[in-house]
Amino acid sequence: MYREIDCIKGDGASFELEKHPVIEEMPLAVKVNGRQALTAMISPDMLREFVIGFLYTEGIIKGIDEIESIKIEDSNASVLTTNPFKILASKKTVLSGCGGTMSYLDIAKLPEIRSSLTIDSQTIRNSVKEGLDSQLHVLTGGIHVVALYNSDGRMYAVEDIGRHNALDKIIGYALENNIDLSSTYIICSGRISSEMARKCLIANIPIVVSRGATTTLTVDIARSRGLTIVGFVRSKKMNIYSGGERITDIPPSMPELLPEKEEEEENETA
């Protein structure tokens, strides 16, 4: 996941030649049914899970049973599905910086969350503290973390240069292990983007939590489709932007004060 790279380290007026751990990044080219579908800049682990999660959140497959085979060699992945004519409308390049390639998003066509999961605010704080404790991030300073939780605690955590990559890996892991995502929530280290909200809606993950920020479009999507967004979870503080009814210890009247998205605003540019 990282290599020691020679560099010149400066400290005030002092400079020394040293080695520093730098996170690895690689291109992964994905072919689906013989056609080029995707090139992703990605951390070089859990590539199979990434491919599964990406194909699922892009609607190429509806479940893992629709995959006949996945073959990964070096920086190339080849997938055969039960529907040989199903493929992305156009080739995509997923960059490590953002991971999203949407240009237009019709919120009304996104699925709504179907889940009875609830948690309390202290559980959220504890999960963020535990789930984002990454030694690799401490070592390199160049990694995102996405952790999957249920009511019993942490189920799995993924580290990747891109938070969208990490989310796809988590979803792919869950599909391979037959995990009911409607009873889970995720903790992420970076900004909660509209693309992450879209992926969670498709996977039916009801709660997304971050120690960072979110965006207006993410909140619009979440309020419209029943997704709970919690940001800036730091120490005793947090911002609940949508789906407050899933947080059990806030006053009962508070979730009703969060406005729902107006119908005429449902078509947005991502």
Q: Is 98 a catalytic residue?
A: yes
Edge-to-edge strands of the sheet including 67-73? Answer: 67-73, 76-81, 26-32, 35-42, 92-94
The structure tokens listed for 108 are 């009304």
pTM above 0.85, yes or no: yes
The C-alpha atoms of residue 182 and residue 232 are separated, in whole angstroms, by 23
Q: Of 137, 139, 138, 187, which is closest to residue 167 (Cα–Cα)?
A: 187
Residue 167's pLDDT band (cuts 50, 70, 90): very high
The C-alpha atoms of residue 255 and residue 247 are separated, in whole angstroms, by 9
The structure tokens listed for 85 are 């004519």
The C-alpha atoms of residue 75 and residue 88 are separated, in whole angstroms, by 20
Residue 142's pLDDT band (cuts 50, 70, 90): confident
Domain 121-268 has CATH 3.10.20.310: no
Q: What are phi and psi of 236, to 5 degrees?
A: -95, 0
Residue 252's pLDDT band (cuts 50, 70, 90): confident
* pLDDT exceeds 70 at position 59: yes
**pLDDT tens digits for 112-141?**
999 999 999 999 999 999 999 988 888 888
Mean pLDDT on 39-52? 96
The residues, ordered by sequence, that sit 6+ positions from 238 with a Cβ below 8 Å of its Cβ are: 121, 124, 125, 230, 231, 232
Mean pLDDT on 31-43? 92
The pLDDT score that the predictor gives to residue 199 is: 96
Domain ranges of the chain: 121-268
* pLDDT exceeds 70 at position 15: yes
Q: Of 142, 23, 19, which is closest to residue 8 (Cα–Cα)?
A: 19
* pLDDT exceeds 70 at position 11: yes
The C-alpha atoms of residue 148 and residue 74 are separated, in whole angstroms, by 28
Contact criterion met (CB below 8 Å) for 54 and 81: no
Mean pLDDT on 152-157? 96
Residue 181's pLDDT band (cuts 50, 70, 90): very high
What's the chain look like in SS3? CEEEEEEEEEECCEEEEEEEEEECCEEEEEEECCEEEEEEEECCCCHHHHHHHHHHHCCCCCCHHHEEEEEEECCEEEEEECCCCCCCCCCEEECCCCCCCCCCEEHHHCCCCCCCCCECHHHHHHHHHHHCCCHHHHHHCCCEEEEEEECCEEEEEEEECCHHHHHHHHHHHHHHCCCCHHHCEEEECCCECHHHHHHHHHHCCCEEEECCCECHHHHHHHHHHCCEEEEEEECCEEEEEECHHHECCCCCCHHHHCCCCCHHHCEECC
The pLDDT score that the predictor gives to residue 264 is: 40
Beta-sheet pairing, 92-94 with 35-42 = parallel
Q: What percent of the chain has pLDDT over 90?
A: 74
The C-alpha atoms of residue 255 and residue 21 are separated, in whole angstroms, by 45
Mean pLDDT on 6-31? 93
* pLDDT exceeds 70 at position 73: yes
